[in-house]
């Protein structure tokens, strides 16, 4: 796609699922991809496979709950590639369980990853984009950020509603040089469905995910937003399996 080739794209949560699918999709279209996650062995394998195809990719070890690490990785990408065009705040956790189960540790983890991790990415990338007078922030929300997924997903929905609010507020503050996109997918193939420590809830989610679409379907939506001319800002994209009612 025009508008993708040559762009420097950093993807958090890049070791599997949507992050990996997006890296592969964008790299095949000429983007230079930087994938960041905790599982370095998995990242290195993906990079090796992309480089074998003649594509450009780099791996960075990252825990998005660590603000210093996020800043260091963003700075390293800019230093190595000379600029940063797009950051995709993709790392996420979906720990589904009714509130009455009091899975407080999982609530904390979702807030740290799904909200604070995104804010850390924004905080690290925004000064670079302001210096460049260009840049694109893409945040991953969910259809559960449009309608509360309950019972079981109330806290998860809360984190994803927050990402929609943050994204729209940033868009309004951004001026004419920064693009902001919020992606709100339904069920797609990823490790998200196994994120809950509550066995009953996890089993129900895994059954629900029988209708999941490939992660590449969401990657195509991300690529569509990136590929637009600089004066076009795709603010929100909602997509779900045709079979999904919620």
CB 21 within 8 A of CB 85: no
Catalytic choice (32, 60, 120, 156) = 156
CB 43 within 8 A of CB 66: no
Q: How far apart are CA 227 and CA 181, in angstroms?
A: 12
Reduced to 3 states (helix: H, G, I; strand: E, B; else coil), residue 149 is: coil
- Which residues are paired to 140 by β-bridges? 183
* Residue 182 parent element (H or E): strand 178-185
Q: What is the residue-wise DSSP string for 51-80?
A: HHTT--EEEEE--TT-HHHHHHHHHHHHHH
Catalytic annotation present for 156: yes
176, exposed or middle or buried, with CB in 10 Å at 0-12, 13-18, 19+?
A: exposed
Q: How far apart are CA 130 and CA 127, in angstroms?
A: 5
* Residue 135 parent element (H or E): strand 135-140
Residues forming the active site: 156
């Amino acid at each position: 796609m025009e508008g993708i080739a040559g762009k420097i794209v950093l993807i958090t949560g890049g070791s599997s699922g949507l992050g990996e699918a997006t890296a592969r999709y964008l790299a095949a279209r000429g983007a230079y991809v930087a994938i960041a996650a905790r599982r370095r062995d998995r990242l290195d394998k993906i990079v090796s496979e992309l480089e074998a195809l003649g594509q450009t990719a780099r791996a960075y070890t990252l825990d998005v709950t660590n603000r210093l690490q996020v800043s260091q990785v963003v700075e390293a990408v800019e230093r190595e590639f000379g600029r940063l065009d797009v950051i995709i705040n993709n790392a996420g956790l979906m720990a589904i369980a009714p509130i009455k189960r009091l899975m407080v540790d999982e609530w904390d983890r979702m807030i740290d990853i799904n909200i604070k991790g995104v804010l850390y990415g924004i905080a690290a990338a925004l000064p670079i984009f302001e210096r460049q007078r260009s840049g694109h922030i893409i945040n991953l929300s969910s259809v559960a950020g449009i309608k509360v997924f309950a019972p079981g997903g109330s806290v998860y929905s809360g984190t994803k509603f927050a990402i929609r609010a943050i994204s729209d507020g940033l868009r309004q503050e951004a001026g004419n040089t920064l693009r902001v996109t919020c992606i709100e997918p339904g069920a797609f193939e990823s490790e998200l469905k196994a994120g809950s420590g509550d066995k009953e809830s996890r089993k129900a989610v895994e059954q629900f995910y029988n209708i999941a679409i490939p992660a590449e379907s969401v990657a195509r939506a991300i690529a569509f937003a990136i590929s637009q001319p600089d004066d076009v800002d795709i603010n929100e994209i909602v997509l779900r399996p045709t079979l999904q009612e919620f």
